[in-house]
Amino acid sequence: MDTLRAQFEAWLSLQQCSTEGVRPAPKDATRCTVVSIHNAATTSMAGDLLKMWGADEMKPEAAVAVLSKPDIAVTNQSDKDGQLPKVLKLSDKVKEALA
């Protein structure tokens, strides 16, 4: 199971682009829904995930620190090795695009 992709996409869906780079989006501008499987009661888990990935301090550097940990599973380790460094450049790319 590739949890890296799911968690990265959750983080992205809770961000917005601005002239200051990538920043946490206000609650009314997020684009993430957590749906439980097999009738699991995940209200608190869903809230915890949304709170973690949407936190003000969850900037690209913090997201990479979490996603690079060994407990975040990936199908192909080269995905982690090749793609996570690009996230570190994301805010700068957004700033350039909006300048």
Distance separating alpha carbons of residues 10 and 49, to the nearest angstrom: 9
Q: What does the block give as tokens for 2?
A: 């590739």
- Model's pTM, two decimal places? 0.82
Per-residue model confidence as pLDDT tens for the chain (99 residues) = 578 888 899 999 999 999 999 999 998 998 988 777 776 666 677 788 888 999 999 999 999 999 999 999 888 889 899 999 999 999 999 999 999
Q: Are 74 and 1 in contact (CB under 8 A)?
A: no
